[in-house]
Structure 1
Amino acid sequence: MPLSPIPLASLEKVGIGLRRPEDVVVGRDGRVWASDQASACAEIRADGTLRRVGKAGGAPNGINMDARGRIVIANFGLGTAPTGPLQRLDPATGTVDILCGAIDGKPLVASNYPIVDRAGNVWCSHSTSDRAASEAGLADGFVYRVRPDGGAAVMASGFTFANGLALDADESYLYVCQTMGRNVVRLPIRADGSLGPQEPYGPVLGEPAFRGATPAERARFGATDGCGFDAEGNLWVTLVLANKVVAITPKYQVVTLIHDPAGELMSWPTNVSWGGGDMRDLYVGTIRRDYVLRARSPVPGLPLVHQR
């Protein structure tokens, strides 16, 4: 299928009333969930109403599901709470457990985005321990992994504000959005589960941000936020400050798929997710709005562990 742009007019607001809706996950059963600072996650019902579940505290950020349908929440506590742990929500009961609150005795403060692999490991980005220093170039972001037995360890470090994560179809690489690096890097997953050295995946996606920019200037900002693969191997990336969604093709070409220059409808897009029977229902998290956006994707999304 051709990777064609999605008209802005075709995007539909869903889940109106959400608070800080960074991300969406769609279960195998078709139910749609969004991160929600007023609870833990909120189910977006077919009629558009919300069913809030659980209480996470802090700032529920990136979310995903494990193979049992439990929702894994990266809590970005920095600026909103003393800690930012990795949590897990049971959508049936509303119980929120902490999967990982500290590593080697150091509390997590800015967990950002989790993804679950076939073996049941949860990989999660941790953006920074000092946001102002990170924005000035401090590369203190890292990726940690929580095994099914609960063991946790830092697997890679040295990222400039580690943000969204993705796994390719055969789980041979882990992909990491570096917000301040304005790019995506990937790390090979070795046979023993460790990560190899990072390498750029595609080009730097834009220019550094600055205050007082016009819409035309913002359109060139390259800060990356979330990412996800479609079924044809294109890596979709949200450019949060540019109000854009782009894709890096397998040949490293960059295609703009959605752009809202004024940021009136799609303001600060943070993540992309797919669902529906044909995996062509696209959802875009919009952290500055009280809704998420839904559209028809030109290509199906790559099914995640909980959707297979």
Structure 2
Amino acid sequence: MLNLSVDDIAFVGEDIQRGECVLATRSGDLFLPDKRGGVNIVRANGKSERIMAKNAPEGFMPNGIALLPDRTFLMADLGPGGGVWHMAQDGAMTPRLLEVHGKKLEPTNFVGIDSKGRTWVTVSTHLVPREQSMKKGHADGYIVVMDERGARVVAEGMGFTNEAIVDPSGEWLYVNETIARCTSRFPIRADGSLGRKEVFAQYGAGTFPDGFTFDAEGGVWIVSVVSNRVIRATPDGKQHTVIQDADPAWLEQVEQAFEDGSYNRTHLDSGGQRRLANLSGIAFGGADLKTVYLASLFGSQVGSFRSPVAGAKPVHWEF
């Protein structure tokens, strides 16, 4: 399996600001959110262009995004408004989901779609500001599903809910719990409700999982903020660290802060001082689905490397 250093990472794109996640398509185009309020598109030639949101709510902060078949977007608003918005190709914004069961959504982390037309939404915490929830043992994140029956909460009590993606089989919803430091999964019932949660992978010291993706062999590749790690976890319980870009002494300090309850935004953002710039998103792409793309909270470009294992085709691959 791969053992990479930072020198093995190539970079594409330019002038990306807070590209929290990355979506890859067969065309070679990459799509990332941009904190200025819109989407950054890295074309196959490596050049970047932006679609800026029009009439967005005050403080709009796109975080997770979903690409739709017509190449418009769903965008999770991590700003004070929260909720999910639709952005047309010309940047025009319309609200898609701002409340559930009559209750306004808090700052919203992620939005994704599946092959059955359902939309999955995560909110990391009820607490505002969100930093109050970054404590070991805190678990009030939740997941919303939206389909022809409407929108409803289908899972609660999670340790900082991050990305949530339906696996290639369509039978499981996987989710990264950043503060619980694990990748969990739920069986999906026919009506869109979720069965009992189980832990797919529990991570150790210094790993705070954010984004993830699937490979064609059943592996889950996660990226960790703070430690700038890429880890491949497999169904047999094995984990392999592909790369890490962090100072070991600093990671020990972060770990101590996490254990004693003093962990805060400064610790979370510290990975941004490294070359990999606080890894937060990952996707397989390229013609053979063996190019791995890395998104980060503080980088101005997308990292990439080649994998011996192909990725599983994401739902938006042909869009």
The TM-score with structure 1 as length reference comes to 0.86
Q: How large is the RMSD of aligned CA atoms in angstroms?
A: 1.9
Residue 66 of structure 1 is matched in structure 2 by 68
Q: Which amino acid aligns with 2:176?
A: C
| Between 13-22 and 257-266, the greater mean CA deviation after superposition | 257-266
Match of 1:201, SS state, is strand
CA offsets 1:82-120 (integer angstroms, 9 cap, x no match): 212212222x32222221111122222221122211111
Residue 305 of structure 1 is matched in structure 2 by 315
Q: Which amino acid aligns with 1:241?
A: V
Match of 2:7, SS state, is helix
Residue 164 of structure 1 is matched in structure 2 by 163
Matches of 2:220 and 2:46, distance apart in 1:
29
Q: Which amino acid aligns with 2:23?
A: V
Structure 1 pair 234/97, CA: closer, same or farther in 2 (3 Å)?
A: same
Q: Among residues 22, 25, 32, which one is paired with 1:24 in the alignment? A: 22
Residue 36 of structure 2 is matched in structure 1 by 38
Kindly state the Cα deviation for residue 233 of structure 1 after the two structures are TM-superposed: 0.8
Matches of 2:140 and 2:29, distance apart in 1:
36
The within-5 A match list for 1:6-17 is: 6-17=4-15
The within-5 A match list for 1:1-308 is: 3-55=1-53, 56=56, 57-77=59-79, 82-90=80-88, 92-130=89-127, 131-136=130-135, 137-147=137-147, 149=148, 151-202=150-201, 204-207=202-205, 221-262=206-247, 264-308=274-318
Structure 1 pair 27/97, CA: closer, same or farther in 2 (3 Å)?
A: farther
Question: Conserved in 2, the CA contact under 8 Å of 1:27 and 1:65?
Answer: no
Residue 256 of structure 2 is matched in structure 1 by none
CA offsets 1:201-236 (integer angstroms, 9 cap, x no match): 12x2123xxxxxxxxxxxxx1211111111111001
Matches of 1:259 and 1:192, distance apart in 2:
40
Structure 1 pair 281/72, CA: closer, same or farther in 2 (3 Å)?
A: farther
Kindly state the Cα deviation for residue 166 of structure 1 after the two structures are TM-superposed: 2.4
| Between 248-257 and 62-71, the greater mean CA deviation after superposition | 62-71
CA offsets 1:155-191 (integer angstroms, 9 cap, x no match): 1111011001222211111111111101111111012
Match of 1:265, SS state, is coil
Question: Conserved in 1, the CA contact under 8 Å of 2:5 and 2:243?
Answer: yes
Matches of 1:274 and 1:181, distance apart in 2:
25
Match of 2:226, SS state, is helix
Kindly state the Cα deviation for residue 68 of structure 1 after the two structures are TM-superposed: 3.4
Match of 1:232, SS state, is coil
Question: Conserved in 2, the CA contact under 8 Å of 1:165 and 1:176?
Answer: yes
Matches of 1:8 and 1:189, distance apart in 2:
38
Matches of 2:74 and 2:45, distance apart in 1:
25
Matches of 1:150 and 1:87, distance apart in 2:
19
| Between 17-26 and 129-138, the greater mean CA deviation after superposition | 129-138
Question: Conserved in 1, the CA contact under 8 Å of 2:207 and 2:229?
Answer: no
Q: How many residues align?
A: 286
Matches of 1:205 and 1:186, distance apart in 2:
15
Matches of 1:28 and 1:278, distance apart in 2:
9
Q: Which amino acid aligns with 2:242?
A: L
Structure 1: gaps spanning 5 or more residues: 208-220
Kindly state the Cα deviation for residue 150 of structure 1 after the two structures are TM-superposed: 8.0
Match of 1:9, SS state, is helix
Q: Which amino acid aligns with 2:7?
A: A
Match of 1:21, SS state, is coil
Matches of 1:135 and 1:39, distance apart in 2:
25
Question: Conserved in 1, the CA contact under 8 Å of 2:188 and 2:195?
Answer: yes
Matches of 1:245 and 1:158, distance apart in 2:
26
Question: Conserved in 1, the CA contact under 8 Å of 2:200 and 2:235?
Answer: no
Question: Conserved in 2, the CA contact under 8 Å of 1:66 and 1:120?
Answer: no
Match of 2:316, SS state, is helix
Matches of 2:197 and 2:211, distance apart in 1:
18
Residue 213 of structure 1 is matched in structure 2 by none
Kindly state the Cα deviation for residue 124 of structure 1 after the two structures are TM-superposed: 1.4
Question: Conserved in 2, the CA contact under 8 Å of 1:69 and 1:306?
Answer: no
